[in-house]
Amino acid sequence: MWEYSEKLKDHFLNPRNVGEIENPDGVGEVGSLACGDALKLTFKLDEKKRIKDVKFQTFGCASAIATSSALTEMIKGSTLEEAQKITNRDLAAYLGGIPEKKMHCSVMGYEALQAAIANYRGEKLPTEESPVICECFGVTEREMEDAIRINNLSTLEQVTDYTKAGGGCGTCHEKIEGILAHIAKEPIEKALEFPKKKLTNIQRMRLVEQTLDREIRPSLQKDGGDIELVDIDGKRVLVALRGVCATCVAAGTTLEQFVQSRLRDLVEEDIVVEEVKP
């Protein structure tokens, strides 16, 4: 049985903004009944080009309904530029977490929002011209790449949890593994595509996690050490050294000249790394 947060259960049992707006400014439709989940998002702008009203219609499970409801609450009153920055991870955080096997519901909300904004602007989404990789669930290569980068996915099982891709006949597994391998080789800056300045707290946290996992931890592990992210308080990154690093006399130098230096290069120039000792 899934463990749902109280906030997620509330949005499922008491969904906000259900329905469809007449003569909407933007419409986004994703998923399909054949695949088990579908979402239609419509919004109306006010004279200042802010989202005045937004409604959704969802066919799906509790997580699909809750994430759709939460999304409408998150974007109401925002500009399209502000709304466009919201990712599925922001949706999950807003709801106090979503079971890993249900994260594809948050991705569906993210995709519906992007589609509705593109519809308003008269633009085509990159995913529309991207080849379909998973025929069973109609997941394109670009949709898969976006989910992998935004959520730092590294396994086939995770891709299935977040996009459903690979959860059917299995003939696309090799292609998914190839996409994962290709993205794993990308420079950290391209993988996230976030600016190094004016990061939101969620963006900063995500980029710190990525940098530790891909740029710092492998180097420490080669010498028998390791590092664990304990907490992030603004621009203070609290870490704990593990393995041989925990007792090394040069631990302070490692933190300042390697860990802190890499985070300042790849995340923000004024980040401060502090060690948390047992």
pLDDT band at 158 (very low <50, low <70, confident <90, very high): very high
Q: For residues 64 and 105, is the Cβ–Cβ distance under 8 A? A: yes
The Cα 212–Cα 72 span in angstroms is 33
Question: pLDDT per residue over 213-252, tens digit each?
Answer: 888 988 899 888 999 999 999 899 999 999 988 888 888 8
Tell me if residue 105 is catalytic. Answer: yes
Examine the pLDDT at 267 and tell me if it is beyond 90.
no
Question: pLDDT per residue over 104-126, tens digit each?
Answer: 999 999 999 999 999 999 998 87
DSSP SS3 for 180: helix
Q: Please choose, from the candidates 145, 154, 127, the residue with its C-alpha nearest in 3D space to the C-alpha of residue 217.
A: 154
Global pTM?
0.68
Q: For residues 242 and 257, is the Cβ–Cβ distance under 8 A? A: no
Q: For residues 52 and 122, is the Cβ–Cβ distance under 8 A? A: no
Tell me if residue 172 is catalytic. Answer: no
Query: What number does CATH give the domain 201-275?
Result: 3.30.300.130
Catalytic option among 61, 105, 172, 245 = 105
Question: pLDDT per residue over 51-74, tens digit each?
Answer: 999 999 999 889 999 999 999 999
Q: Which two tokens stand for residue 197?
A: 């300045």
Segment 26-40 mean pLDDT: 83
Q: Do the first three CATH levels of 6-121 and 201-275 match, i.e. the same topology? A: no
Query: What number does CATH give the domain 6-121?
Result: 3.90.1010.10
Query: What number does CATH give the domain 128-185?
Result: 1.10.10.1100
The Cα 74–Cα 17 span in angstroms is 11
Examine the pLDDT at 2 and tell me if it is beyond 70.
no
> Where along the chain do its domains lie?
6-121, 128-185, 201-275
The Cα 244–Cα 234 span in angstroms is 29
